[in-house]
Chain A
Amino acid sequence: MAVKTQKKATSIDMTAMCDVAFLLLTFFILTATAKVPEAMPVDMPASTVQSKLPESNLATLTIGNKGTVFFDLKGKEVRIQTLEKMAEKYGVEFTEEDKKEFSLMEGFGVDIASLKSVIEMKSSQRLKADQPGVPKDSLNNQLAEWLRFARQANIDINDKELEVAIKGDAKEEYPSIRKVMDILQDQGVNSFSLVTGLRGKDF
């Protein structure tokens, strides 16, 4: 006589699992801040500091790739006003669409003359485009101008002093960092943040 194997129900109660899954889902949706693609990804050095980078009133200078500097600014209106002032100074025309696109795009690293073509690219193209960095030598110091106008625009709009953060690549040599610090100091910005990653106290 063959022993009958007991037939088990093939369906499992999924209710609890479903609850957990949706709880986690809700958590991740609420805490998510989408990763913003960067035009020039840098490997930040780690430190033990705990203070967070401010979310607004911030200009980020990304330094990487042998002294290439990218400029990024938070705040749509501040960006538009800064662009307008720069356009006026360097005699470059931007349309309203360009300005709108500029207010939403990521950091850039090109001469103001070729900024228009970068704005007109699609964001995926922009990331692939080989941007040479914002000019910062003493004859054509556009980086300093960007900073100056951004600070003015931020005071006009947010009524606050713009904070500046330097985001350098860990392998970047000191002189190129110092060059950017010098540009900041020439404008009287003596206090700024250095962006770092996080590590434990016992490294």
Chain B
Amino acid sequence: MAELNTGDGGGGKDKKVRSKKQNSKVDLTAMVDLAFLLITFFMLTTTLSKPKAMELGLPDKQDDPTDKPIKVDENRTMTILLGDNNKLVRYVGLLATPVAGGAPKDFTYGKEGIREELMSRKASVLAYSTAKGKPKNGMIVIIKPSKKSNYRNLIDILDEMGIVEVPTYAIVNDFSPEETKLLEGK
């Protein structure tokens, strides 16, 4: 392969001393080999996908007994219960007296499951609030992760909130006995 030429030394009859004509081709094979080796090394050691950060703000934790819970219109609230094995139950309004079509029901995570429900419910809440003359009052979602739910479920549902652009959502840790039953039952 190597083409280093070594001139033929002959033909010394010229009077002028000719500079020896060098072959301009250098064998680059080894260099390319090296370059690709280094490329491979850097590709494998690089972390291309940098981790992303999801911002989460929680309400101030205060144990003020004089604090009265804020009453909200139950027509605007949807409660999402996260159970074990990716179980997800949602109800709209109060558990005892759910809003029409809002009885507790199982959903799956993702596009076909809870997202569709959130979208349609968001639209209907907006219509309801506009009819009452307060179009700024959007949907309120209460997320209740149970003790058996895992971190992926929490991230998934928070992500859903971001995708659907739910104006108000909160993570609540209190479980009523009925809600616990709801997750365990069936």
Contact residues of A with B, CB < 8 Å?
10-11, 13-15, 17-18, 21-22, 24-25, 28-29, 31-35, 44-54, 63, 165, 167-175, 177-178, 181-182, 185-186, 188, 190-198, 201-203
Contacts and interface: CB of A to CB of B under 8 A. Distances in A.
Question: What bracket does the count of chain B residues touching chain A fall in?
Answer: 35 or more
30 contacts: A17-B28, A18-B28, A21-B35, A32-B46, A34-B45, A34-B46, A44-B51, A45-B151, A45-B156, A46-B155, A47-B155, A49-B55, A49-B159, A51-B52, A53-B53, A54-B53, A63-B151, A171-B151, A173-B148, A174-B148, A174-B151, A174-B154, A178-B145, A186-B61, A191-B56, A193-B55, A193-B56, A194-B56, A197-B52, A198-B49
A200 to B, nearest CB: 11
Contacts of A186: 61
Name the residue among A18, A51, A178, A191 with the largest chain B CB count within 10 angstroms.
Answer: A18
A194 B53 contact: yes
Given A47-B162, A201-B163, 13 more contacts: A10-B1, A18-B28, A24-B35, A31-B46, A33-B46, A35-B47, A63-B151, A168-B151, A171-B152, A173-B150, A174-B154, A175-B147, A192-B56
A203 B39 CA distance: 32
Describe B's contact surface by its main secondary structure.
mixed
Contact of B55 (A22, A24, A51): A51
Interface SS, A side: mixed
B129 interface: no
A51 B159 CA distance: 13
Nearest to A166: B56
B17 interface: no
B53 A165 contact: yes
A185 B28 contact: no
Interface of B: 1, 3, 25, 27-29, 31-32, 35-36, 38-39, 42-43, 45-47, 49-61, 82, 110-111, 145-156, 158-159, 162-163, 173
